[in-house]
Amino acid sequence: MAEYREGSTSRATFPLPDVEWPATAPYWAGAAANELRIPFCDGCGASNWFPEATCGACGGRAFTWRVMSGRGTLFSWVVVHRPFLPQYADAIPFVPALVSLDDAPEVRVPTRMVETEPGDLRFDMAVTVAFRPLRFRGVDGEVTAPFFVPSDPGW
Amino acid sequence: MATPKGEWGYASALEDTSGEVAIVGVGDADHSSASGRGQKEVAAQAIERALEDAGLRARDIDGIMHVPMAGMEFTDDDFREYFGVTHDLWVSKEGGGMVWAATAPHTAAMAIREGKAKYILNTFAVAWATQRNSMVGGPGESHAKELFKQNLEVPMGWFPQPVYFATIARRHMHEFGTRPEHLGRIAVACRAHANLHPGAVMNHKALTLDEYLAKPMLVDPFRKEDCCLISDGGGAYIMTSTERARDLRQPVIEVAGVGLGNSHTGPHWSQQAAFTSTPHVFSAAGAFGMAGISTADVDVFTCYDPFTIVTAMTIEDLGFCPKGEIGAFLESTPLTHDGGGLPIQTHGGMLSHAYVLGISHVVEVVHQLRGEAHAQVPDAEIGIYAGYTGPQASVLVLRKHRG
């Protein structure tokens, strides 16, 4: 069963990720190095996504973060026309999406499709990670984040 | 606990309590957009009306159920303060709305069986319309605080609930050929029922399918009309043994069955293996089995409906039609109270009545089975409320008591 851990939304960097939160710190450290890293269980080899403290498949508690190829397929997406957080306002309209990774298809990466038009998106189309700075109006700082783009620019 | 390979959830085993308890009093608070009222004041109004409906006094109530909401829930202390009583109450925090509006009668049945209480009140209220301009207490708050979402989903903009469920809806459309006009039929049926219900927030606003299709996109493929309201409101219902219920003023509406299903991925919709399903896949058999009924016996259908797609998936996952065939089902099945098909959300649901998270659905089903609803289904004898939170889904089967 997925765990529920409550934090605060009042930290100054919200909605940027807290890159120091231990459970996801290796993910954001990977992004800073332009690598998409996902944890796998040392005991049974299953992916552990989201990075829970125990493996959902075998109960193991030791994991190794592996570098993924960055290639995947577009699982689903939406086009957001209204900012649900004031910090999103500058990005409207934008395209939050879930990408299934070629190296571990059961892993869905929450991301945003960029450098493409929503009308050009197709289910299960080939997509590739693109590391870009994530910024929000009124929030200091930026974080390098895994956005995705269509793999074939001529799609 | 280890997850069996290929299994994305499971059914909870619930002891058979069929027919042991009845709902003997129901009350809706006033439902509205921003009212300036507080949550506890709203809950107290619903409770007062439920007591009046049952013909009971506050001193008769010896059990209270709610769900913790950062101190805003209506507790036993609040009950004593608002209703001027001093006695002890049995307390359960597994009540309130959402999934628990359906399971509370089972929890209450067990407590009544064990002699912990005789008359148990379940209540739930929100004032999210009043609070919506802050992140305090709104529907997105708990999601923004959950640290996996906060650090993996929120930064990329995959937040909040309209985004989750529009993403699910688009995938459902891809997998099964579901179309916007199918979702529109659900929104239009809800609105038609709200137009007949004087307590519904959208009572005076009509909606046709053509109008629905002409509305602008909010989170494509969702229009605003696919999404629930943000409301101030609440409800309450009172349960006791079926035996004691016979001595009270209202027709006896018994709790015939309850079922509960669970998803291993909990609140993380993005990772749910069965992306276009709900844990109702696991809740239906227990509830219908306990009640000894099939889907064909259901006269009134209500479900937790934050978005049209949740109603669509609930209809499928409970077995009213095969998975993936909701489009054809909606094209051939009237959804209104007088259509002879499957009447859904006969008060308007969370889309058009009020977003009070399922508690008013139970109130509505009771009114239907008593034969006193505003959009009355002829000869309704069995009605359901299907609760949902994402991590869990539940079914409550209510039946008009015979004899």
Please report the pLDDT score of residue B3 as a whole number: 39
- Three-class SS of residue A67? strand
Which chain B residues have a beta carbon less than 8 Å from that of A94? 157
Size of interface A-B (CB pairs under 8 A): 151
- Three-class SS of residue B280? helix
Q: Under an 8 A CB cutoff, do A57 and B167 touch? A: no
Q: Under an 8 A CB cutoff, do B156 and A145 touch? A: yes
Alpha carbons B92 and B81: distance in angstroms, whole number:
18
Q: Under an 8 A CB cutoff, do A2 and B2 touch? A: no
pLDDT grade, residue B1 (50/70/90)? very low
Please report the pLDDT score of residue B38 as a whole number: 92
Which residues are CB-neighbours of B14 under 8 A, at least 6 positions away? B106, B258, B259, B260, B286, B290
Mean pLDDT on B293-306: 98
3-state secondary structure A87-102: HHHHHCCEEEEEEEEC
DSSP H stretches of helix in B6-132: 39-54, 76-83, 100-113, 128-131
User: Would you tell me which residues 5-44 of chain A have a C-beta closer than 8 angstroms to some C-beta of chain B?
Assistant: 5-9, 14-18, 21, 23-24, 27-28
Q: Under an 8 A CB cutoff, do A15 and B155 touch? A: yes
- A92 close to B (CB below 8 A): no
Please report the pLDDT score of residue A3 as a whole number: 58
Q: Is the pLDDT of residue B229 over 90?
A: yes
Q: Under an 8 A CB cutoff, do B218 and A81 touch? A: yes
Which chain B residues have a beta carbon less than 8 Å from that of A125? none
User: pLDDT tens-digit profile of B59-101?
Assistant: 999 999 999 988 899 999 999 999 999 999 999 999 999 999 9
Give first-to-last CA distance, chain A, whole Å.
39
Mutate to test the interface with A, among B5, B12, B135, B154 (most CBs of A within 10 A): B154
Q: Under an 8 A CB cutoff, do B2 and A56 touch? A: yes
Which chain B residues have a beta carbon less than 8 Å from that of A21? 147, 151
Please report the pLDDT score of residue B77 as a whole number: 98
Q: Under an 8 A CB cutoff, do B150 and A15 touch? A: yes
Q: What is the ipTM of this complex?
A: 0.97
User: pLDDT tens-digit profile of B144-170?
Assistant: 999 999 999 999 999 999 999 999 999
Mean pLDDT on B30-43: 94
Per-residue pLDDT tens listing for chain A (155 residues): 455 678 888 889 999 999 999 999 999 999 999 999 999 999 999 999 999 999 989 999 999 999 999 999 999 999 999 999 999 999 999 999 999 999 999 999 999 999 999 999 999 999 999 999 999 999 999 999 999 999 986 54
Q: Among B2, B264, B266, whose Cβ lies nearest the Cβ of A59? A: B2
For A45, which DSSP code? -
Please report the pLDDT score of residue A2 as a whole number: 57
Which chain B residues have a beta carbon less than 8 Å from that of A7? 145-147, 150
Q: Among A59, A81, A88, whose Cβ lies nearest the Cβ of B157? A: A88
Mean pLDDT on B22-42: 95
Residue A107 burial class via C-beta count within 10 angstroms: exposed 0-12, middle 13-18, buried 19 and up: buried
User: pLDDT tens-digit profile of B333-378?
Assistant: 999 999 999 999 999 999 999 999 999 999 999 999 999 999 999 9
Please report the pLDDT score of residue B136 as a whole number: 52
User: pLDDT tens-digit profile of B127-138?
Assistant: 988 887 545 556
Q: Is the pLDDT of residue B240 over 70?
A: yes
Q: How far is B1 from chain A (nearest CA, A)?
A: 7
Mean of pLDDT over chain B: 95
Please report the pLDDT score of residue B369 as a whole number: 98
| DSSP strands (E only) in A24-138 | 37-41, 63-67, 71-77, 79-80, 95-101, 104-113, 126-134
Alpha carbons B345 and B186: distance in angstroms, whole number:
9
Q: Among B163, B221, B271, whose Cβ lies nearest the Cβ of A108? A: B271
Question: How many CB atoms neighbour CB B251 within 10 A?
Answer: 15
Which chain B residues have a beta carbon less than 8 Å from that of A8? 145
- Rounded to 5°, the CA angle A32-A38-A42 comes to 130
Q: Is the pLDDT of residue B4 over 80?
A: no
Q: Under an 8 A CB cutoff, do B163 and A7 touch? A: no
- Three-class SS of residue B168? helix
